[in-house]
Amino acid sequence: MYEDISLGEYLETDDIGKIRYWNGEIMEQFVVGMELNHPYSQISFWRPGGEEPESVSTVAGGEQYQIPARNTEEFLKRAMRLLRFAGRLGDAGAVVFSVPEASPEVVEQVKTAAMRVGIGEKKVYVQTQQESFCSYVMHQPREIHSHHVAMFSYEEDCLKAYLLILNQKRLPCLARVEEQKDWQIPNMHKLTGEERDAYFAGLIRRMFEQRIVSCAYLVGNGFEERWYEKSLQLLCAGRRVFAGSNLFAKGACYRAAELAGEAPPMPYLFFGSDKIPCNVGIGALNGQKNGIEVVIPAGVNWYEAKAECEALLYDTPVVEIFFQPLQGEAMLKESILLEGLPERPKRCTRLQVQVAFSGRTSCQIGIRDLGFGELYPATDLTWEEKVEL
């Protein structure tokens, strides 16, 4: 539950964030979103007939959403017990985990733990807290994200600020989360309440200077005590402000509904530190015109950005790979000369093309000659190229 504190008092916001049955239809299967964090994690779910994600409390009828767990597998076993009233976790249409950083090692660890408790690998997804923040916000009413949206997180004695930047002049909307080194206040326990309030107010002024912010979220246990009265006045000047602790889990649950096909994808594309920044395509003929066939779309996690396809070589022994940024930069073309390839008639050379990323901006390209049936046997010649974007 998020509470609207825009008016200086706590107001329940049951009408904020409700999506009344996707396209007027009741969901067919339940989905789950989980925040994995230290030392506490949280669970959110959405079941058939529900109007929005619900948070799971460890106390029946209470609001104890933070669940301690020593490791992911232990937490998932407890989650299975807590979710029994909603359904079997292994039967969920999708389970999305929200983590501070989605490195390949973290993703592998989470997926392994999930499969050990009976969740199918194809149902498991991992995304960053920043992406969960974006997912949550974009599923709120339009006035919430009509401009930029701020989030202040106060956990483990450090207050950090983030700004969701939205480019809504294009469709899909391009979204990213900005953070800066001076947008944080460490060692909050060393400050008095008045000092915290003054530092927080200064942080708000720095962030909001020359920016239009339509809404702000306060996340974390540090905001449970109302030490920030002056800062709150600044936040509430012309914008909505919400306080709560289950934003990441609910954001993951919204995403799970999309991935399970229970919700139409929202018209936005999120660019985080783990996302590739461009469409990747192969030069192709469309009739008599040159075109580009996209094989990896922008916004995919780089460690999951891979594609394999077959292509017929039309004329010259060259394969063209295009990298098309979505944010205004010039398109990059990489032409790979297939040295040593035997001469053959047009469209009589079949190629296997593999594209994969070894980092957010590092692309590996592999090409293999498959020949063309018995007339032109495969040579198994291979060509490799590494592109730094």
Domain boundaries, the chain: 3-270, 278-388
- For the cut 50, the answer to whether the pLDDT of residue 63 exceeds it is yes
CA 254 to the chain's CA centroid: 11
Q: What is the mean pLDDT of residues 360-371?
A: 96
Kindly give, in sequence order, each residue whose CB lies less than 8 Å from that of residue 93, ignoring residues fewer than 6 positions away.
Answer: 28, 29, 30, 31, 123, 256, 257, 259, 260, 261, 262
R_g over Cα of the chain: 24
Q: What is the mean pLDDT of residues 104-133?
A: 95
* Residue 213 to residue 185: CA distance in whole angstroms: 21
Summarize pLDDT for 236-290 with one digit per residue, the tens: 999 999 998 899 999 999 999 999 988 888 889 999 989 999 999 999 876 667 8
- For the cut 80, the answer to whether the pLDDT of residue 325 exceeds it is yes
Q: pLDDT over 90 for what percent of the chain?
A: 72
Which pLDDT does position 168 carry in this prediction? Answer: 86
pLDDT band (50, 70, 90) for residue 1: low
Which pLDDT does position 7 carry in this prediction? Answer: 42
* Residue 93 to residue 260: CA distance in whole angstroms: 5
* Residue 64 to residue 248: CA distance in whole angstroms: 16
* Residue 112 to residue 183: CA distance in whole angstroms: 35
For the whole model, what pTM was predicted? 0.87
Beta pairing class for 318-325 and 306-312: unpaired
The mean predicted confidence, pLDDT, of the chain is 89
Superfamily of domain 3-270: ATPase, nucleotide binding domain (3.30.420.40)
- For the cut 50, the answer to whether the pLDDT of residue 137 exceeds it is yes
Helix H, strand E, coil C: the string for 142-186 is HHHHCCEEEEEEEECCEEEEEEEEEECCCCCEEEEEECCCCCEEC
Which pLDDT does position 69 carry in this prediction? Answer: 76
Helix axes 72-82, 104-116, angle to 10 degrees: 50
Kindly give, in sequence order, each residue whose CB lies less than 8 Å from that of residue 303, ignoring residues fewer than 6 positions away.
Answer: 104, 107, 274, 357
- For the cut 80, the answer to whether the pLDDT of residue 184 exceeds it is yes
Q: What is the mean pLDDT of residues 47-53?
A: 82
Which pLDDT does position 264 carry in this prediction? Answer: 84
| Fold classified for 278-388 | Substrate Binding Domain Of DNAk; Chain A, domain 1 (2.60.34)
Contact 323, 278 (CB under 8 A): yes
